[in-house]
């Protein structure tokens, strides 16, 4: 018996070895057939030190096609886009341990087409979910208490709507049915985020939620006309209120310049300087929406770009398809492209409809609206009805403050504006009682994928997923760490997922019926809970959590140091990792050249001391206790290695351990680091 059992074990071992060789062979063959393209590496979680890896200057993300046409789209639904290369698959499999494969998950999504826009993963895989997080993404079998058969379905990150409004108890379910897992009120928001967050936490909101500091709302406390400017005293109070709001979780600052034209530079610039200080974006509904003088789209974008250049703050242009770009899209996008090439941090969003909607008593319908928007009364329709307006009914509904849809956007403007890599999707709506909203409140995200990716082929499926999930997360995640774990399908990320049939996903809401749920979306998971299960809403699921800005500050010093050639420099800790002033390298034979457009320092050995006396003495000083520690997306690169920098006031710091990556020999005794002679 013993001998027989040994033989069986030996046979099983040989069988497993052969299977392993076969698996390696398959991976190699797939690698060859896919062209062996490289890609970004992903990490288990985005809560550790700022990333440090190899630099590949020649790798750029460029669109080589405009996506499949209607015929190719059907084929694309059946098969992953193999041109994305093996890198995403390899990155996912590399994260999976034997323990991950042996555990029993709460939910396993089996055999779906998994798309992770961060790594460009696009492959049929299995996803294991436990405790609200993704525990594994792998082609290997997984065990689960519940198994969702996802054959023929796309498994994507839950959509993030960062141009929404307050998550009211009616509209959030239309969002979920449209694949939205995070509802962020960055167009509007709140002037009192402490109370706002507390309210939605008490009400157990089913989606994740967050908000900006809404400047226009805060301004109302002074009972100012929408056409009047604030006084210096009022501006000072508003700035202090905004700073308090940021420290209470507000994700940025929002302005609605077209609706409150009295807000001008004296009010805007101080708030933008504050936003830059706190490393949060400023969202703008721009001042103009047309090409009629005085005041055109071009003037509106010049204004916003000028603020970004003057203050250094990040700018987001709300719905450029309807404000800032209508009738001038190519010229408007060229302006944004040029500003970004200059190194300014500017992004934009659109909603994928060629008609906009707003309240008839707003400043948008001030005198002259017909010539500005190139429409007449009949081009207006009351939301939730079939009523097209006349001159008489316009006056009546304006008094009532009704919301009307305006058929006023050239369709080609949507096609053009959705293409740039930095343009994301945002609905600018949430359904209100009485069907009082634009159909984008219920259909924005399904329409983006179903119409603009599958049917029209203006963008690819990968790009559509990126624009609806990863890009909105990245726009806000610098100071909102919750978003670093969203917008991706990878081990350690939050289990916020949407599963849809790429052949059938589409919006079904209309102007007459803006409450209709989207089609083709089968499952929506929020924190690992099924809020949409096999096409049916589960309104008992209340898994939403607040998404807030969080700020780390320099704490009391612990005495950690770096010793380099007999000189001692103070270290500071961020997310458990030691950092040192970047200027230290200039005292030890290295030069630093700043690339404004790319936001990185090029570090090269030159054998000289290349720093003035003030810089020399500053490297020996610890930052003040209480100073903000910020990730501004600055980097330092040497050869093929790069690392991200930590910014504290005007100084930049790099992780000490990166010195080991670029060839230095480091030792560490009780948090005191030494560069050893090579």
pLDDT of residue 68: 30
Q: Are 502 and 115 in contact (CB under 8 A)?
A: no
pLDDT class of 24 with cuts at 50, 70, 90: very low
The model's pLDDT over 546-599, given as tens digits with 9 standing for 90+, comes to 999 999 999 977 779 999 999 999 999 999 999 999 999 999 999 999 999 999
pLDDT of residue 435: 86
pLDDT of residue 32: 36
User: Where do the structural domains in the chain lie, given as residue ranges?
Assistant: 2-156, 159-355+407-486, 356-406, 553-676
Q: Are 428 and 187 in contact (CB under 8 A)?
A: yes
The model's pLDDT over 404-439, given as tens digits with 9 standing for 90+, comes to 999 999 999 999 999 999 999 999 999 999 888 999
Q: Are 646 and 579 in contact (CB under 8 A)?
A: yes
Question: 29: burial class by Cβ within 10 Å (0-12, 13-18, 19+)?
Answer: exposed
Mean pLDDT of the chain: 89
- For 563, phi and psi rounded to 5 degrees? -105, 120
Helix runs in 149-282, H state only: 171-177, 193-202, 215-219, 232-247, 265-278
pLDDT of residue 593: 95
Give the C-alpha distances (Å, rounded to integers) separating 51 from 44, 223, 574, 600: 12, 47, 13, 14
The answer on pLDDT for 37 being more than 60 is no
pLDDT class of 187 with cuts at 50, 70, 90: very high
Look at domain 159-355+407-486 and name its CATH class: alpha beta
The answer on pLDDT for 489 being more than 70 is yes
* CA atoms within 13 Å, Cβ hemisphere of 607: 0
pLDDT of residue 610: 72
Distance, in Å, from the CA atom of 310 to the CA atom of 318, rounded to the nearest integer, reads 20
pLDDT of residue 28: 39
pLDDT class of 613 with cuts at 50, 70, 90: confident
Distance, in Å, from the CA atom of 61 to the CA atom of 82, rounded to the nearest integer, reads 16
pLDDT of residue 51: 52
DSSP SS3 for 208: strand
The answer on pLDDT for 17 being more than 60 is no
Find the angle CA(156)-CA(282)-CA(287) to the nearest 5 degrees: 110
pLDDT (mean) for 519-541 = 99
The model's pLDDT over 306-341, given as tens digits with 9 standing for 90+, comes to 999 999 999 999 999 999 999 999 999 999 999 999
| CA 236 to the chain's CA centroid | 31
* CA atoms within 13 Å, Cβ hemisphere of 9: 6
The answer on pLDDT for 284 being more than 80 is yes
The answer on pLDDT for 21 being more than 60 is no
Cα dihedral 251, 119, 522, 105, rounded to 10, equals: -90
pLDDT (mean) for 497-503 = 99
pLDDT class of 27 with cuts at 50, 70, 90: very low
pLDDT class of 86 with cuts at 50, 70, 90: low
pLDDT (mean) for 201-208 = 97
Helix runs in 504-625, H state only: 613-618
Give the C-alpha distances (Å, rounded to integers) separating 201 from 190, 589, 656: 15, 54, 40
pTM value? 0.87
Range of weakest confidence among 89-93, 283-287, 471-475: 89-93
The model's pLDDT over 97-115, given as tens digits with 9 standing for 90+, comes to 999 999 999 999 999 999 9
Distance, in Å, from the CA atom of 300 to the CA atom of 255, rounded to the nearest integer, reads 13
């Amino acid at each position: 018996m013993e001998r027989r059992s040994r033989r069986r074990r030996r046979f099983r071992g040989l069988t497993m070895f052969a299977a392993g060789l076969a698996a390696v062979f398959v991976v190699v063959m797939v690698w060859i057939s896919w062209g062996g393209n490289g890609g970004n590496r992903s990490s288990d979680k985005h809560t550790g030190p700022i990333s440090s890896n190899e630099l590949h200057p020649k790798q750029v993300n460029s669109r080589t096609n405009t996506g499949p046409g209607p015929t190719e789209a059907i084929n694309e639904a059946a098969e992953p886009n193999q041109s994305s290369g093996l890198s995403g698959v390899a990155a996912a499999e590399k994260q999976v341990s034997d323990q991950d494969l042996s555990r029993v998950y709460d939910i396993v999504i089996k055999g779906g087409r998994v798309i992770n826009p961060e790594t460009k993963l696009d492959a049929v895989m299995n996803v294991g979910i436990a405790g609200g997080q993704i525990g594994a993404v792998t082609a290997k079998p997984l065990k689960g208490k519940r198994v969702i058969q996802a054959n023929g379905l796309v498994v994507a990150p839950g959509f993030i709507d960062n141009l929404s409004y307050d998550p009211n108890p009616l509209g959030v379910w239309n969002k979920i049915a449209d694949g939205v897992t995070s509802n962020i009120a960055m167009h509007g928001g709140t002037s009192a985020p402490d109370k706002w967050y507390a309210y939605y936490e008490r009400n157990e909101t089913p989606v994740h939620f967050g908000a900006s500091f809404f400047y226009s709302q805060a301004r109302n406390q002074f009972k100012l006309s929408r056409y009047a400017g604030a006084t210096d005293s009022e501006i000072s109070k508003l700035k202090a209120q905004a700073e308090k709001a940021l420290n209470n979780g507000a994700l940025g600052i929002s302005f609605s310049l077209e609706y409150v034209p009295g807000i001008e530079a004296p009010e805007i610039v101080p708030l933008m300087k504050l936003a830059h200080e706190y490393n949060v974006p400023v969202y703008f509904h721009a001042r103009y929406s047309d090409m009629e003088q005085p005041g055109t789209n071009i003037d509106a974008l010049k204004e916003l770009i000028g603020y970004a250049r003057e203050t250094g703050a990040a700018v987001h242009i709300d719905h450029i398809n309807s404000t800032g770009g209508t009738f001038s899209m190519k010229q408007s996008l060229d302006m944004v492209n040029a500003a970004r090439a200059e190194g300014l941090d500017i992004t934009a969003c659109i909603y994928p409809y060629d008609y906009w909607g707003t309240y008839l008593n707003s400043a948008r319908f001030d005198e002259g609206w017909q010539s500005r928007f190139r429409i007449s009364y009949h081009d207006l329709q009351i939301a939730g009805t079939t009523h097209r307006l006349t001159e008489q009914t316009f006056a009546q509904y304006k008094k009532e403050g009704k919301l009307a849809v305006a058929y006023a956007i050239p369709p080609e403007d949507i096609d053009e504006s959705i293409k740039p890599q930095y343009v994301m999707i945002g609905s600018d709506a949430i359904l209100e009682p009485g069907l009082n909203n634009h159909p984008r409140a219920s259909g924005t995200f399904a329409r983006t994928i179903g119409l603009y990716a599958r049917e029209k082929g203006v963008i690819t499926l990968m790009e559509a997923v990126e624009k609806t999930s990863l890009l909105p997360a990245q726009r806000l995640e610098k100071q909102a760490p919750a978003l670093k774990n969203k917008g991706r399908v990878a081990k350690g990320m939050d289990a916020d997922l949407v599963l849809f049939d790429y052949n059938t996903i589409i919006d079904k809401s209309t102007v007459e019926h803006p409450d209709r749920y989207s089609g083709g979306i089968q499952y929506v998971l929020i924190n690992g809970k099924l809020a949409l299960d096999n096409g049916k809403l589960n309104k008992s699921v209340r898994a939403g959590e607040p998404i807030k800005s969080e700020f780390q500050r320099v704490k009391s010093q612990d005495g950690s140091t770096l010793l380099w050639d007999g000189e001692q420099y103070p270290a500071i800790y961020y997310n458990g990792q030691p950092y040192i002033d970047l200027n230290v390298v200039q005292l030890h034979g290295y030069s630093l050249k700043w690339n404004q457009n790319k936001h990185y320092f090029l570090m090269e050995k030159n054998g000289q001391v290349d720093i003035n006396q003030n810089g020399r003495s500053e490297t020996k000083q610890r930052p003040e206790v209480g100073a903000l520690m910020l990730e501004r997306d600055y980097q330092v690169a040497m050869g093929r290695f790069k690392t991200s920098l930590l910014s504290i006031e005007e100084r930049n710091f790099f992780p000490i351990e990166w010195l080991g990556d670029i060839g230095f020999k480091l030792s560490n005794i009780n948090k005191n680091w030494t560069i050893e002679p090579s």
